[in-house]
C-alpha cells in the first residue's frame, strides 16, 4: 500500500510477527529520497524487539516547542535591541538567509538540531523586525495577528484530531500544489517590489490583495493537516527520533507563513 506522505513510501509487509517483535512493520522505508533497511532477525525475518530511539508524538511536541520558543526569544531580542531605522535591512537580510536555509533543510531533509535551531533564530530575527515595523504603523496589530494565528492552528489541530479533516493522498497533493504555486507567486511579487518599489496589486491593500491574503491563510491552515499527517505516519512507520525535527520544522514554517498573512490582512482591513 502506498503512503499518503509524499516523502515516505512504505513497502509491502509480511504477515504479523510475534507480539514481542516490534515496529516498523515493513522491510524498508524511504524518507527524503533515501531508502533505509529495517534490521531483521535472521530466524524470523522480522524486526527485532522494539527500539527506544524512534519518533513519538511527545518528542515531536518537545522539538516544536523548542523551535517556537527559540524563534519567539530571537524575535523579542530583535524588537528590543534593533533600532527602528535598521529594521528594514535586518528583516530583508534575515528573510533571504531564512529562505536559503529553509530550502536546504527541506530538500536535504536536514535533521541536525543545531541547524534547525539556527533556522529558528533567523526566523525569529525576521519576525521581530517585521512585527515592530507593523506595530509602529498599526498599534495593536501584532497581538491581533498572534491571537488569530494561534486560533487557526488549534482549530486545525482539533479538526485533525477529530478526523473531520484527513490528510488523504489526493488532499495532500492538492494542498502541497497550491502552497507551491502561492510560494512562486509571492516570490515573483517580492522581486517585482524590490526592483520597482511598488507593492503591486497582490500587496497594495486593495480588494485583490485582501482576497490573495485570505487564500494564503486558507492554504497555510490546510498545510497543518498535511504536516500532522506526515508526523503521524512517520510515527507509525517507526522512523528514527531525529526525524521529529522535520515535523517541528514544518509546523514552524507554517506558523510563520500564517502569522505574516494575518499581519497583512489585518493591516489591509485597518487601512480600509
pLDDT for 119 equals: 97
Assess whether pLDDT exceeds 70 at residue 272.
no
Whether pTM > 0.85 for this model: the answer is no
d(CA 193, CA 10): 44
pLDDT for 24 equals: 46
Q: Note the pLDDT tens digit of each residue in 217-248.
A: 999 999 999 999 999 999 988 889 999 999 99
Residues 6+ apart with CB under 8 A from 173: 6
What is the Cα 17 distance to its own chain's centre?
36
d(CA 24, CA 171): 25
Q: Note the pLDDT tens digit of each residue in 190-214.
A: 787 777 777 777 777 788 889 999 9
Express as a percent the part of the chain with pLDDT over 70: 81
50 vs 93, more confident: 93
pLDDT for 23 equals: 46
d(CA 248, CA 244): 6
Contact 40, 49 (CB under 8 A): no
- What is the residue-averaged pLDDT of the chain? 83
Amino acid at each position: 500500500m502506498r503512503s499518503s506522505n509524499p516523502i515516505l513510501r512504505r513497502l509491502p509487509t509480511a504477515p504479523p510477527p510475534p507480539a514481542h517483535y516490534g515496529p516498523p512493520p515493513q522491510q524498508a522505508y524511504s524518507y527524503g529520497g533515501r531508502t533505509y533497511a529495517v534490521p531483521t532477525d535472521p530466524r524470523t525475518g522480522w524486526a527485532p524487539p522494539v527500539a527506544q530511539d524512534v519518533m513519538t508524538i511527545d518528542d515531536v511536541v518537545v522539538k516544536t516547542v523548542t523551535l517556537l520558543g527559540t524563534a519567539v526569544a530571537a524575535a523579542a531580542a530583535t524588537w528590543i535591541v534593533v533600532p527602528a531605522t535598521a529594521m528594514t535591512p535586518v528583516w530583508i537580510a534575515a528573510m533571504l538567509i531564512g529562505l536559503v536555509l529553509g530550502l536546504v533543510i527541506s530538500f536535504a531533509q536536514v535533521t541536525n538540531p543545531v541547524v534547525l535551531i539556527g533556522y529558528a533564530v533567523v526566523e525569529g530575527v525576521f519576525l521581530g523586525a517585521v512585527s515592530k515595523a507593523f506595530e509602529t504603523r498599526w498599534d495593536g496589530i501584532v497581538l491581533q495577528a498572534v491571537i488569530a494565528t494561534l486560533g487557526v492552528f488549534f482549530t486545525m489541530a482539533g479538526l485533525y484530531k477529530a478526523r473531520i479533516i484527513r490528510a488523504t493522498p489526493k488532499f495532500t497533493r492538492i494542498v502541497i500544489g497550491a502552497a507551491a504555486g502561492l510560494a512562486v507567486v509571492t516570490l515573483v511579487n517580492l522581486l517585482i517590489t524590490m526592483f520597482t518599489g511598488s507593492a503591486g496589486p497582490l500587496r497594495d491593500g486593495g480588494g485583490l490583495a485582501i482576497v490573495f491574503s485570505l487564500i494564503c491563510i486558507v492554504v497555510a491552515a490546510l498545510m497543518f493537516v498535511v504536516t500532522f499527517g506526515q508526523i503521524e505516519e512517520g510515527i507509525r512507520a517507526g522512523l528514527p527520533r531525529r526525524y521529529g525535527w522535520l515535523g517541528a520544522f514544518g509546523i514552524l514554517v507554517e506558523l510563520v507563513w500564517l502569522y505574516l498573512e494575518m499581519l497583512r490582512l489585518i493591516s489591509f482591513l485597518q487601512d480600509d
